[in-house]
Structure 1
Amino acid sequence: MGDVAMTIPVLSALIAQHPGIQVTVLTRAFFKPLFYGLDNVSVYEADVKNAHKGLWGLWKLYKELKTLNIDMVADLHNVLRSKVLKLYFKLESIPFVQIDKGRAEKKALTSPSSKVFKPLKSTHQRYADVFKELGLPLDLNSVALLPKRPLATSSKKLVAGNDRIWIGIAPFAAFQGKMYPLDLMEKVVDALNCTGKYQLLLFGGGEKEKKKLDAWDHKFHHCVNLVGKLPFPEELALISHLQLMVAMDSGNAHLASMFGVPTLSLWGVTHPYAGFYPFGQEVNNALLSNRDKYPMIPTSVYGNKCPDGYKNVMRSIAPEAVVAKIEEILNK
């Protein structure tokens, strides 16, 4: 989801800087609400589990897409499915440009023995480079982010009757190596809750995460666990109204950034140098694990590799530092 969310500011720049262009986004149905509010952007749903599964399914998908009279294709994913589609589009000589993911550079950045520790091109810029190669150059320094979305009645009921500052907290990530320890995050929640200034909105997914966040919801008076309570479009609308999002190197950081919501991101075995820093966020809106103590960071691009002795890298970020950074960002 984070990869899809990162396309939003780039598409916003595309339609603003190239008026009249019509964009069709090929993605899964679940992600469709991400693109609400982008003029001249429609979503074509890829059913990769059923109708569009396998080579025959992709051929069927290609035949469906042909009816849209597509002039060119920007492949921002560059995976096996899109490589197959590229072969099909070649039959009609339709320009098809794929993202350069910089695999060699990222391999060097994450190497345990011959690390080349330097900032790489952002994923957003890599997306923009695809459009440039198609003859549609973009200036990512001039991007209109998504506006706030209207709150649903169900959302208003969840946070009704308070005038506190809304802070989103998304404490989970796909891999343990980039997730702030929950016992430390609970200390952050406790400290924020005790001020009485904040309404803490907890984001996650799945029964296991719901159970943990339910415990915080019951323990802390100013916490609301949102897991399972709102459909995805309403959750996005609520995110658009936050004063701050606290997230890991994960999808929620990118969802908040789509709307220009200030976002504090916490980094474990991954690092912003890999190019996945949330769009438009100030460089100091992040807290990183201690590389002096853990010099192999980043150990991987996605956080799926955690070498021996690196399980507790994020314990080098004190809860007090997180609270202080939250207040610093809000005070700006």
Structure 2
Amino acid sequence: MSRSLVIAPQWIGDAVMTQPLLRRLHARGERLTVGAVPWVAPVYRAMPQVEQVLEFPFQHGGLQWGARRRLGRELHGRFDTAYVLPNSLKSALLPFLASIPRRVGYLGEARVGLLTHRLKNPQDKPPMVAFYSALSGEREGLEQDRPVLRLDAREIDAALAAQGLRRGGYLVFAPGAEYGSSKRWPVEHYAALAASLQQPVLLLGSGKDTPVCEAIAAAAPNCRNLAGHTSLAQAFALIAAARAVVSNDSGLMHVAAAFGVPQVALFGSSSPLHTPPLNDAARVVWLKDDPGYQPPLDCAPCFARECPLGHHRCLRDVRPERVAGLVQGAVSSA
């Protein structure tokens, strides 16, 4: 049986979207170890195809040559194949330093000599799940791949008990977006939506999302701010047991999709053609493809971190009452 090391992306949403690739590799008999930074490792612990998760001692930015070289020596001889999912030079260094015989990845950042099997990067922005799944070398059915995460029922029950909640007795809002403000639905819209739904709402996110979540909670009494107060694994459990989830295009949007939770996903500067929530119970709002929205959003998708034109129409003009109707529709059809 082949032993494979998967070098994971450093973003939660991207990590979720790699699950179909791992499912393909596992199905053909590869024993999978995933190397991931600590803030992404919980995603892979929710994938039953993964035999082991190695938490890398790396941080954002910097080559960290010494740490990579030491870890490379420790991993020498342990793996037959490495799949390098990020496109960066430094992500391809570890499999090279570990002398893993077969090293698979996309071309990028002058790393030709670090990879033994190289795929050309697509010119456009393809669906990311298919982009990752193609690293398997298989071509059939990539467009049908959907991420699926699993949690033990005891993990979910423990997270609910810690917050005094019951399954399906609350909604989750994930109002953050690590990428930038161009992907965030306005605070006042989230607050108005919470007030109109009149159900308990948990606000989830990282510590960086705390100010946004505090502002929403201050304006909507039925909201409880847990941003920065749960582990990622606990946040997963609370999402998995929620009645519905409302989010921006973010990592937690993909988590909700992978658990099959009814959801409404709000897209602004990014595109649901590139990173959709692959979930039959999902409703997507993107004014770019809304024929009734005028004047048309010729600027979208810009994929910018901040609105280059300063108007943020792509999200500001999504009304809370529209989203409320979509939430009810997603729940009733699930």
Q: Decide: shared fold, TM above 0.5.
A: yes
Decide whether the 8 Å contact of 1:26 with 1:44 is kept in 2: yes
Q: Which amino acid aligns with 1:36?
A: R
Residue aligning to 2:325? 324
- Alpha-carbon separation, structure 2, partners of 1:271 and 1:82: 26
- Alpha-carbon separation, structure 1, partners of 2:120 and 2:129: 11
SS of structure 2 residue aligned to 1:272: coil
- Residue 167 to residue 9, structure 1, CA distance change in 2 (3 Å): farther
- Alpha-carbon separation, structure 1, partners of 2:167 and 2:35: 40
How many Å apart are 1:262 and its aligned residue?
2.6
Q: Identity over aligned residues, as a percent?
A: 23
Residue aligning to 1:315? 316
Q: Which amino acid aligns with 1:129?
A: A
- Alpha-carbon separation, structure 2, partners of 1:22 and 1:49: 27
- Alpha-carbon separation, structure 1, partners of 2:327 and 2:67: 47
- Alpha-carbon separation, structure 1, partners of 2:120 and 2:238: 32
Decide whether the 8 Å contact of 2:37 with 2:59 is kept in 1: no
Decide whether the 8 Å contact of 1:13 with 1:143 is kept in 2: no
Q: After superposition, where does 1:1-332 map in structure 2 within 5 Å? A: 1-15=12-26, 17-18=27-28, 20-37=29-46, 38-49=48-59, 54-68=64-78, 70-85=79-94, 87-88=96-97, 94-99=101-106, 102=121, 104-106=123-125, 121-132=126-137, 141=144, 145-149=148-152, 150-151=155-156, 153=158, 155-160=160-165, 165-174=169-178, 175-193=180-198, 198-206=199-207, 209-214=209-214, 216-217=216-217, 220-273=220-273, 275-281=274-280, 285-290=283-288, 292-300=295-303, 303-304=304-305, 306-332=307-333
Decide whether the 8 Å contact of 2:21 with 2:134 is kept in 1: no
SS of structure 1 residue aligned to 2:170: strand
Decide whether the 8 Å contact of 2:297 with 2:314 is kept in 1: yes
Compute the RMSD of aligned alpha carbons. 3.0
How many Å apart are 1:66 and its aligned residue?
1.8
Q: List runs of 5+ in structure 1 lacking aligned partners.
A: 107-120
How many Å apart are 1:41 and its aligned residue?
2.4
Q: Which amino acid aligns with 1:181?
A: P
- Alpha-carbon separation, structure 2, partners of 1:166 and 1:280: 20
Residue aligning to 1:111? none
Q: Which amino acid aligns with 1:296?
A: C
Decide whether the 8 Å contact of 1:12 with 1:145 is kept in 2: no
Relative to the length of structure 2, the TM-score reads 0.78
SS of structure 2 residue aligned to 1:151: helix
Q: Which amino acid aligns with 1:2?
A: G
How many Å apart are 1:39 and its aligned residue?
4.1
How many Å apart are 1:71 and its aligned residue?
1.1
Q: Which amino acid aligns with 2:170?
A: W
Partner deviation per Cα, 1:167-220 (whole Å, 9 max, x = no partner): 210111121111101111211111012xxxx3311112226x434434544654
SS of structure 2 residue aligned to 1:188: helix
Q: Which amino acid aligns with 2:90?
A: R
How many Å apart are 1:24 and its aligned residue?
0.7
SS of structure 2 residue aligned to 1:30: coil
Partner deviation per Cα, 1:246-291 (whole Å, 9 max, x = no partner): 1111111011122222321101111112x21123346x61001346
SS of structure 1 residue aligned to 2:200: strand
Q: List runs of 5+ in structure 2 lacking aligned partners.
A: 1-11, 107-118, 290-294
Decide whether the 8 Å contact of 1:74 with 1:98 is kept in 2: yes
- Residue 218 to residue 144, structure 1, CA distance change in 2 (3 Å): closer
- Alpha-carbon separation, structure 2, partners of 1:21 and 1:263: 33
Decide whether the 8 Å contact of 1:13 with 1:138 is kept in 2: no
Q: Which amino acid aligns with 2:203?
A: L
SS of structure 1 residue aligned to 2:156: coil
Decide whether the 8 Å contact of 1:152 with 1:234 is kept in 2: no
- Alpha-carbon separation, structure 1, partners of 2:239 and 2:131: 26
- Alpha-carbon separation, structure 2, partners of 1:294 and 1:44: 44
SS of structure 1 residue aligned to 2:69: helix
